Protein backbone atom coordinates (compact mmCIF):
# COMPACT_ATOMS: atom_id res chain seq x y z
CA UNK A 1 0.00 0.00 0.00
CA UNK A 2 1.32 3.41 -0.90
CA UNK A 3 2.26 5.51 2.12
CA UNK A 4 2.40 2.57 4.54
CA UNK A 5 5.08 0.29 5.93
CA UNK A 6 2.66 -2.60 5.59
CA UNK A 7 2.84 -4.38 8.97
CA UNK A 8 1.84 -4.28 12.63
CA UNK A 9 4.49 -5.41 15.13
CA UNK A 10 3.53 -6.70 18.58
CA UNK A 11 6.30 -7.35 21.11
CA UNK A 12 5.78 -9.10 24.45
CA UNK A 13 8.48 -7.58 26.66
CA UNK A 14 8.07 -10.38 29.21
CA UNK A 15 8.98 -13.16 26.79
CA UNK A 16 10.88 -11.13 24.19
CA UNK A 17 8.69 -12.54 21.43
CA UNK A 18 7.83 -10.34 18.48
CA UNK A 19 4.93 -11.05 16.11
CA UNK A 20 4.63 -9.31 12.75
CA UNK A 21 1.28 -9.24 10.95
CA UNK A 22 0.25 -7.61 7.67
CA UNK A 23 -1.65 -4.35 7.97
CA UNK A 24 -5.25 -4.88 6.92
CA UNK A 25 -6.03 -2.66 3.94
CA UNK A 26 -9.64 -2.07 5.01
CA UNK A 27 -8.47 -1.02 8.47
CA UNK A 28 -5.96 1.38 6.92
CA UNK A 29 -8.59 2.88 4.63
CA UNK A 30 -10.94 3.51 7.55
CA UNK A 31 -8.53 4.59 10.32
CA UNK A 32 -5.67 6.00 8.17
CA UNK A 33 -2.85 5.86 10.75
CA UNK A 34 -1.54 7.69 13.82
CA UNK A 35 -4.33 8.48 16.28
CA UNK A 36 -6.83 6.50 14.19
CA UNK A 37 -4.81 3.33 14.57
CA UNK A 38 -4.35 4.12 18.26
CA UNK A 39 -8.10 4.35 18.81
CA UNK A 40 -8.69 1.08 16.96
CA UNK A 41 -6.03 -0.99 18.73
CA UNK A 42 -6.43 0.54 22.21
CA UNK A 43 -10.09 -0.47 22.25
CA UNK A 44 -9.17 -4.02 21.31
CA UNK A 45 -5.96 -4.64 23.26
CA UNK A 46 -6.29 -2.71 26.54
CA UNK A 47 -8.90 -3.57 29.17
CA UNK A 48 -10.54 -0.37 30.42
CA UNK A 49 -10.17 -1.58 34.03
CA UNK A 50 -6.46 -2.38 33.86
CA UNK A 51 -4.05 -0.43 36.08
CA UNK A 52 -1.89 1.89 34.00
CA UNK A 53 1.28 0.40 35.50
CA UNK A 54 0.20 -3.22 35.05
CA UNK A 55 2.11 -5.36 32.55
CA UNK A 56 -1.31 -5.97 30.98
CA UNK A 57 -1.46 -2.33 29.90
CA UNK A 58 -0.06 -1.75 26.42
CA UNK A 59 2.23 0.94 25.04
CA UNK A 60 1.61 1.71 21.38
CA UNK A 61 3.43 3.78 18.78
CA UNK A 62 1.84 4.79 15.47
CA UNK A 63 3.39 7.03 12.80
CA UNK A 64 0.95 9.46 11.22
CA UNK A 65 -0.43 8.91 7.74
CA UNK A 66 1.92 11.41 6.09
CA UNK A 67 5.12 10.36 7.90
CA UNK A 68 7.72 9.57 5.26
CA UNK A 69 6.15 11.76 2.59
CA UNK A 70 7.01 15.26 1.39
CA UNK A 71 4.17 16.80 3.41
CA UNK A 72 5.92 19.56 5.43
CA UNK A 73 3.63 19.13 8.45
CA UNK A 74 3.25 15.35 8.27
CA UNK A 75 6.05 14.16 10.54
CA UNK A 76 4.13 13.44 13.74
CA UNK A 77 4.06 10.13 15.60
CA UNK A 78 1.55 9.23 18.32
CA UNK A 79 2.16 7.28 21.52
CA UNK A 80 -0.79 5.61 23.25
CA UNK A 81 -1.52 3.86 26.54
CA UNK A 82 -3.90 3.97 29.45
CA UNK A 83 -2.80 7.14 31.20
CA UNK A 84 -1.42 6.90 34.75
CA UNK A 85 -2.23 10.61 35.13
CA UNK A 86 -5.94 10.50 34.30
CA UNK A 87 -6.80 6.80 34.39
CA UNK A 88 -8.28 7.12 30.91
CA UNK A 89 -7.20 7.46 27.30
CA UNK A 90 -3.57 8.57 27.04
CA UNK A 91 -2.08 9.97 23.86
CA UNK A 92 1.02 12.05 23.23
CA UNK A 93 2.30 13.28 19.88
CA UNK A 94 5.89 14.08 18.94
CA UNK A 95 8.03 15.07 16.02
CA UNK A 96 11.47 13.58 15.51
CA UNK A 97 12.29 10.65 13.27
CA UNK A 98 11.14 7.68 15.33
CA UNK A 99 7.94 7.30 13.29
CA UNK A 100 9.81 7.66 10.01
CA UNK A 101 12.27 4.97 11.06
CA UNK A 102 9.42 2.66 12.11
CA UNK A 103 7.73 3.04 8.74
CA UNK A 104 11.02 2.50 6.93
CA UNK A 105 11.42 -0.71 8.94
CA UNK A 106 8.00 -1.76 7.64
CA UNK A 107 5.75 -0.98 10.62
CA UNK A 108 2.68 1.23 10.83
CA UNK A 109 1.92 0.23 14.41
CA UNK A 110 4.09 -0.97 17.30
CA UNK A 111 2.30 -2.61 20.25
CA UNK A 112 4.29 -3.36 23.41
CA UNK A 113 2.85 -5.58 26.14
CA UNK A 114 4.23 -7.22 29.26
CA UNK A 115 7.23 -6.07 31.29
CA UNK A 116 10.94 -6.67 30.78
CA UNK A 117 12.70 -8.56 33.56
CA UNK A 118 15.29 -5.79 33.94
CA UNK A 119 15.83 -2.29 32.58
CA UNK A 120 16.11 -2.82 28.83
CA UNK A 121 15.81 -1.21 25.44
CA UNK A 122 14.02 -2.53 22.39
CA UNK A 123 16.04 -2.67 19.18
CA UNK A 124 14.17 -2.91 15.88
CA UNK A 125 16.46 -3.42 12.90
CA UNK A 126 14.08 -3.85 9.96
CA UNK A 127 12.81 -7.44 10.44
CA UNK A 128 15.04 -8.14 13.45
CA UNK A 129 13.72 -7.46 16.95
CA UNK A 130 15.79 -7.76 20.13
CA UNK A 131 15.49 -6.75 23.77
CA UNK A 132 18.84 -5.64 25.19
CA UNK A 133 20.02 -4.71 28.68
CA UNK A 134 19.91 -1.03 29.60
CA UNK A 135 20.98 -1.49 33.21
CA UNK A 136 24.08 0.59 32.50
CA UNK A 137 21.77 3.45 31.46
CA UNK A 138 19.77 3.59 34.69
CA UNK A 139 19.36 7.23 35.71
CA UNK A 140 20.74 8.53 32.41
CA UNK A 141 19.20 11.51 30.64
CA UNK A 142 17.41 10.96 27.36
CA UNK A 143 20.26 12.56 25.42
CA UNK A 144 22.88 10.41 27.13
CA UNK A 145 20.72 7.34 26.59
CA UNK A 146 20.39 8.04 22.87
CA UNK A 147 24.12 8.73 22.54
CA UNK A 148 25.04 5.49 24.33
CA UNK A 149 22.69 3.35 22.24
CA UNK A 150 23.91 4.98 19.02
CA UNK A 151 27.48 4.23 20.11
CA UNK A 152 26.59 0.55 20.46
CA UNK A 153 24.14 0.11 17.57
CA UNK A 154 25.21 2.72 15.01
CA UNK A 155 24.68 6.42 14.42
CA UNK A 156 21.75 5.81 12.06
CA UNK A 157 19.58 4.27 14.79
CA UNK A 158 16.77 6.56 15.95
CA UNK A 159 16.11 6.45 19.70
CA UNK A 160 13.05 7.41 21.74
CA UNK A 161 13.60 7.07 25.47
CA UNK A 162 12.84 8.12 29.01
CA UNK A 163 14.88 9.80 31.71
CA UNK A 164 14.80 9.42 35.47
CA UNK A 165 11.21 10.68 35.74
CA UNK A 166 9.98 7.83 33.57
CA UNK A 167 12.07 5.30 35.48
CA UNK A 168 10.59 6.52 38.78
CA UNK A 169 7.03 6.40 37.37
CA UNK A 170 6.34 10.12 37.66
CA UNK A 171 2.80 10.28 36.32
CA UNK A 172 3.49 13.11 33.87
CA UNK A 173 6.81 11.75 32.55
CA UNK A 174 7.47 12.23 28.82
CA UNK A 175 9.16 10.24 26.06
CA UNK A 176 11.91 12.07 24.17
CA UNK A 177 13.29 11.63 20.65
CA UNK A 178 15.81 14.10 19.27
CA UNK A 179 14.66 16.82 21.69
CA UNK A 180 11.02 16.31 20.71
CA UNK A 181 8.67 15.01 23.37
CA UNK A 182 5.50 13.00 23.64
CA UNK A 183 4.37 15.06 26.60
CA UNK A 184 0.75 14.28 27.42
CA UNK A 185 -0.79 11.60 29.60
CA UNK A 186 2.33 10.36 31.37
CA UNK A 187 3.15 7.78 28.70
CA UNK A 188 6.82 7.97 29.75
CA UNK A 189 5.83 6.55 33.13
CA UNK A 190 4.10 3.61 31.43
CA UNK A 191 7.31 3.00 29.51
CA UNK A 192 9.20 3.03 32.82
CA UNK A 193 6.73 0.62 34.40
CA UNK A 194 7.63 -1.84 31.64
CA UNK A 195 11.35 -1.56 32.46
CA UNK A 196 11.81 -0.08 29.00
CA UNK A 197 14.43 2.65 28.86
CA UNK A 198 14.26 3.23 25.11
CA UNK A 199 12.99 2.14 21.71
CA UNK A 200 15.73 2.14 19.06
CA UNK A 201 14.81 1.72 15.41
CA UNK A 202 16.74 1.36 12.17
CA UNK A 203 14.62 1.26 9.03
CA UNK A 204 16.23 0.99 5.61
CA UNK A 205 13.30 0.60 3.22
CA UNK A 206 11.73 3.24 1.01
CA UNK A 207 8.11 4.19 1.67
CA UNK A 208 6.13 3.98 -1.58
CA UNK A 209 4.03 7.03 -2.40
CA UNK A 210 1.45 7.19 -5.18
In this structure, what CATH number is given to the domain that contains residue 142? Answer: 3.60.9.10
Residue 41: pLDDT over 80: yes
Sequence-ordered alpha helix ranges (H) in 4-141: 25-31, 35-45, 98-104
Domain that holds residue 129: 7-202
Q: Report if residue 207 sits inside a domain.
A: no
Length of the chain: 210
Q: Report if residue 80 sits inside a domain.
A: yes
Give how many domains the chain has, as a whole number: 1
In sequence order, what are the residues at sequence separation of 6 or more whose Cβ sits closer than 8 angstroms to the Cβ of residue 146?
159, 161, 177, 178, 198
pLDDT band at 208 (very low <50, low <70, confident <90, very high): confident
Three-class secondary structure of residue 196 per DSSP: strand
Q: Report if residue 210 sits inside a domain.
A: no
Q: Report if residue 159 sits inside a domain.
A: yes
* Nearest C-alpha neighbor of 73 from the set 64, 81, 82: 64
Q: Report if residue 93 sits inside a domain.
A: yes
Give pLDDT tens digits for 44-92: 999 999 999 999 999 999 999 999 888 887 889 999 999 999 999 999 9
Q: Report if residue 209 sits inside a domain.
A: no
Q: Report if residue 1 sits inside a domain.
A: no
pTM of the model: 0.95
Q: Report if residue 20 sits inside a domain.
A: yes
Amino acid 73: pLDDT: 77
Amino acid sequence: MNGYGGSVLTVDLTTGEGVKKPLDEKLAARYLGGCGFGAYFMNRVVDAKVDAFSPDNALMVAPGLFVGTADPTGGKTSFFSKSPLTGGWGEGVMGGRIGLSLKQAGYDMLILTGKAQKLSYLLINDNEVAIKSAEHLQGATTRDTADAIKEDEGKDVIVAGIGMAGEKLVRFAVIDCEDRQSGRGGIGAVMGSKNLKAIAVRGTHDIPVA
